[in-house]
Amino acid sequence: MAIAAATLCQALRIPYVVPDKNNKKVMQTGSYYSPDEICLPFKLMLGNFIQSIEKGADTVLITGSCGPCRFGEYCELQMKILQKMGYKDIEFIVVDLSHEIGFGEFRRRVGRIAQASAVAPAHKLKALRTAFKVINLCDKIDAKAYDLAGYEARGGDCRQILHDYKDKALLCQTPEQTINLLRLTLKKLESIETDPTKNPLKIAIIGEIFTVIDPFSNLYIEEKLMDYGASTKRMLTPSWWVKNMALKPLKLYARGVYRAADPYLSFPIGGHGKECVGEALLAQAHGMDGAIQILPLGCMPEVVAKAIIPTIAKDKDFPVMTLIVDETSGEAGYSTRIEAFLDMLIARRRRGISA
């Protein structure tokens, strides 16, 4: 998300600030000023905002979401917290395409971003296309690396390529430099030597979108699984979210995953709770060995999904492990649980082969 947003600002010639990658300091700062019972994404985002403001940012661009998920109220509460801290002149631009707000209000909010750019209208449209291309390339790189990790002949190659490109991407000064870097990274992944005799465990990563895509929040679970020689896959990605938001007014969003979830959850419950249920069922249908659900403590939609997952696991004989994260989560305990889960999946495979 940061790479695509930086590319967009570069193309629009709008000054921008990218906060550091999420870390303990960001979490401590956000947690200190946040309500105790609020979920981890809120605390990390608030820490990001404070850090960026200290670096000179005067505007916060945040997506919105109406519905049962508390994310729809993030911006209101975060604005009040920042004002109480003395940051009274910080402007929030909330990008939301929900029918409660309406397309006219959406256009007005997006227009505030466009007004900050002096480039021609045609160039602004090109900037949006370029940013979308970047976000698609990033997700394609991630998906390929996490899948190839189970087949690489020399362990660690995919992980190193991922680290290299993410470190370099935010140093690029123009959209062209970023796209060239991403295309080169894809070529590197395609040239990795693989072992065709390997048959790695295949694990789906499902759950709440922020904790699924933010490595710090999920204790770098995808990298841990790479180290264990497993292949992983996740549906919730930044590019999926952008497409889903654009298609939502036409009611064409997430149709496949929604249809899969219908027998167990026939209506949306906010956040990506229904998607989580559908993802578990699609993972089983596509031959994955198991799934790991990740959610922040107190996430209302995911708590509902979590209550349904055991029924799916029993009905479909499909193992699913749930990891709940917050600012007190310990990495050692989670690593032990992940190792035990992988051992169980390996044992299931052996029983299936022997049978």
Residue 355 clears pLDDT 50, i.e. is over it: no
Please tell me the predicted confidence (pLDDT) of residue 220.
94
Domain count, the chain: 3
Question: Are 32 and 101 in the same domain?
Answer: yes
Q: What is the CATH number of the domain that holds 249?
A: 3.40.50.11900
Contact 18, 2 (CB under 8 A): yes
Beta strands in the chain (DSSP E): 59-63, 91-95, 202-207, 231-233, 290-296, 320-325
Q: Report the alpha-carbon distance of residue 15 to residue 1 in Å, rounded.
A: 17
- Give pLDDT tens digits for 138-191: 999 999 999 999 999 998 999 999 999 999 999 999 999 999 999 999 999 999
Question: Are 212 and 343 in the same domain?
Answer: yes
121 within a domain of the structure (yes/no): no
pTM for the full model?
Answer: 0.91
Half-sphere exposure of 352 (CA within 13 A, CB side): 8
Q: CA–CA distance from 271 to each of 69, 135, 144, 231 (Å)?
A: 5, 21, 26, 26
| Choice between 243 and 307, residue whose per-residue pLDDT is larger | 307
Q: Report the alpha-carbon distance of residue 231 to residue 218 in Å, rounded.
A: 17
Please tell me the predicted confidence (pLDDT) of residue 157.
94
Q: Report the alpha-carbon distance of residue 298 to residue 312 in Å, rounded.
A: 22
302 within a domain of the structure (yes/no): yes
319 within a domain of the structure (yes/no): yes
Please tell me the predicted confidence (pLDDT) of residue 353.
52
Question: Are 248 and 265 in the same domain?
Answer: yes
Please tell me the predicted confidence (pLDDT) of residue 168.
95
Question: Are 266 and 332 in the same domain?
Answer: yes
124 within a domain of the structure (yes/no): no
Please tell me the predicted confidence (pLDDT) of residue 354.
39
Give the three-class secondary structure for 337. Answer: helix
Question: Are 99 and 72 in the same domain?
Answer: yes
Question: Are 165 and 294 in the same domain?
Answer: no
Total residues belonging to the chain: 355
343 within a domain of the structure (yes/no): yes
Q: Domain range for residue 76? A: 2-115
Rounded (10°) angle between helices 40-54 and 24-33: 100
